[in-house]
Chain A
């Protein structure tokens, strides 16, 4: 065996029950190289890496570290071999300080905690340009800080091979750039880096080579400099895909939903949405951009009547909807669908059948005390046909369906009710490319039918292509509402972190500036049509 590669995985196969997560997968990475592991959700990327870090064991296949065949039976083995993984869901103890979180995993634990543990972290901080306070509790850290802590952790344990699972999913544009700098620094120091992702632009920017998986199978490994986004997509999906998102131009109606000076408190009692103004017209998609936890969830819940409004107005077609019950808001034709991180938390009852989920908002309409499953079944059948949902039957529990189909069931039901305003948060969360585009088409069709859509999204590229306008939130405050085709990604990134406040720049006097923004926008050519 030559020691050409820091890590070499040969013919790795792993099954869970009858599901093959990986079949004969090949992967190798050199020292001082960044390898991107690319694939759609469920293509087996994380499973493969979990076998490197000792969480799973392969059913068959061989793993070589520096040319030596090894058996990684436990995370300790991986650590000893110099393999460290930063998981997508951080593995930190919230009530421990940064230093203690790291100390927790070291093998040379004495009876007492030495003071020197703080200094060692400062040392790594200096070498890679991190800014982490070793005494800060993990629970008080922002997401990007937690990620940095995880990276420090693997470096501290002396990892020479560093695996990052979807590291940019939780970061802003600027934070991503910072992370990439760190990765380049690691590469320069001779570390081997494997980065799991499904974002093509990041692959092209950071990696030296790309290994592509599709449905658990190894597809190809290519040099990044010789490939393109189009080619990578074809490898990933298995056929040609049109990567352009349509943005049909539709005649807009008068504002359907106007939000004025809205203030909402979050679960902890802190202000989650702070004096926010915006409006949605029929026939337009308004994007909402912001870092996770900037108040999107609270905003959606407030519009759906699920969260109390502290102050401000929400005017739907001229009527105030503040204080109405969720039922009354549904009856007004306002549909809200929120796909939380676990994808099933709100909007669907996972153990119930597709039919039963169809009836969720309309079961009261049928007369008598019994539930009208016949109608539900007919509606389910209709939605399954209209949206091409793959399901064994209308009676299958929703949680047995794949992510894309689950989200189609949710959107299908909402559209079936014929809403005039659709609030949709993360409708493509975790979906593969095909399903995502199917969802965009559904939303565009609704837009053409004159529905006003509020689209809370994660991927800025998608929002810039799909939305007509984008409003940016930062810590619950409005940073501005911009035209999606005029704004740049960098501007959005700066607005999301609060460094660029277009409300102030475009606005007139402070205080009423936000209102002025709306008035000014309304004047700029759109209200003339009415």
Chain B
């Protein structure tokens, strides 16, 4: 009797994953997701080809205001890139910082504080015209960036210090700190009071005031017509490169790798683990705070939904990229194309609303994550397994 009726196929771990495994897996995942998307679109009577064309070209094709689309895209891309890279720093150390949302908000709030108060202070000192000078704008933007950096960093360090001192769970703490930050910005956004300089004085209802012009992010003219380059994109790319070098070539980066791999080994080697954890978490949270400041400055105002869920999406990006800095760049670019592109594309079709765009994003992301499984494992069918046996 043949008693060995094994399952139809088995999951087998791949010995070495080659680049073409990755390429094929991810490409087929995206293709499958788009196919599902196309199906859903045609049910709604929307031409899928045109929709996807608009989506992946960010609506640039045939648009009179193409530069606006690209600028909008970049504005979304910068916070996601910086946040993902920053999160990967903490994750490499196995510090599960899920407090990106809160750190981003605090960074934005701090930047907003500087925008309003520094402007008021300098105006009282140097008169209305201070902001017209070139140094004025630079000073303001740098101060806002620093405020966001340190604000976010210190906010993140709370969880790190408590973990190092009392062994608290950083996942719970950073998560809870998100809500504190969220309700803090809601408080400022909804409390109409004479002290609340965050709100517009012209409106009866509580609305966030726009920043003084001097606090708007610096943009650089480019040869491409009216398109001007957001300065923070350059900073973000430099941060990305800097973190790559920091992790790979510096002693501090080496320490992060050892602490992440085995804290007891780090201690054994004479490293001050607590200090390394606090230092790294500060840097991680500070960069997220900086992203918040950049975004607030680029948008020119605060908002209660300022994060655009970047603290969560950043976690996805960091893991999708396996904490590899170069891969994070690609993944966050891809995700932003999805987010921004599907929003833009859905505006052309009345039957498709922004929620469908989110649905499509979800399907693609899910497929890519599933593909990730196939880059690490393969399915071996029963007959093939038998054949391998014979070959020995």
Contacts and interface: CB of A to CB of B under 8 A. Distances in A.
B257 interface: yes
Nearest to B258: A349
A70 B1 CA distance: 10
B270 A325 contact: yes
B261 interface: yes
Given A356-B254, A360-B258, A349 B268 contact: no
Interface string A360-400: 11011000011100000000000000000000000000000
B270 A327 contact: yes
B268 A370 contact: no
Nearest to B14: A17
A415 interface: no
Nearest to A372: B251
A336 interface: yes
Contact of B15 (A17, A57, A364): A17
Contacts of A93: none
Which of A15, A327, A361, A371 has the most C-beta atoms of chain B within 10 angstroms of its own C-beta?
Answer: A371
A20 B269 CA distance: 37
Contact of B269 (A70, A326, A369): A326
A361 B269 contact: yes
A18 B389 contact: no
B268 A364 contact: no
A476 interface: no
Contacts of A346: 262, 264-265, 268
Nearest to A328: B270
Interface string A466-499: 0000000000000000000000000000000000
Interface in A290-316: 304, 306
Interface string B1-34: 1011010000011010000000000000000000
B135 interface: no
A13 B389 contact: yes
B166 interface: no
Interface string B212-254: 0000000000000000000000000000000000000111111
Given A306-B267, A360-B269, A369 B15 contact: no
A57 B250 contact: no
Given A369-B251, A370-B251, A371-B249, A349 B389 contact: no
Contacts of B254: 356, 359, 363, 371
A363 B265 CA distance: 14
Interface string B359-392: 0000000000000000000000000010011001
Contacts, number: 81
A71 B268 CA distance: 49
Contacts of B265: 345-349, 360
A141 interface: no
Which of A15, A60, A304, A346 has the most C-beta atoms of chain B within 10 angstroms of its own C-beta?
Answer: A346
Contacts of A361: 269-270
Contacts of B13: 17
Nearest to B3: A71
Chain A residues touching B, range: 35 or more
A336 B268 contact: yes
Given A71-B4, A348-B265, A356-B254, A370 B270 contact: no
Which of B252, B254, B269, B392 has the most C-beta atoms of chain A within 10 angstroms of its own C-beta?
Answer: B269
B323 to A, nearest CB: 12
A60 B262 contact: no
Contacts of A71: 3-4
Nearest to A331: B270
Given A17-B12, A364-B251, A347 B268 contact: yes
B276 to A, nearest CB: 13
Contact of A369 (B250, B261, B385): B250
Interface in B259-275: 261-262, 264-270
A349 B257 contact: yes
Contacts of A304: 268
Interface of B: 1, 3-4, 6, 12-13, 15, 249-254, 257-258, 261-262, 264-270, 385, 388-389, 392
Given A59-B385, A351-B261, A370-B249, 13 more contacts: A17-B13, A17-B15, A71-B4, A306-B267, A326-B267, A327-B270, A330-B269, A338-B268, A346-B264, A349-B261, A356-B258, A363-B251, A369-B250
28 contacts: A20-B392, A57-B4, A57-B6, A58-B4, A69-B1, A69-B3, A70-B3, A71-B4, A306-B268, A326-B267, A327-B270, A344-B262, A345-B262, A345-B265, A346-B268, A347-B268, A348-B265, A349-B257, A350-B261, A352-B258, A356-B254, A356-B257, A356-B258, A360-B265, A361-B269, A369-B252, A371-B249, A371-B250
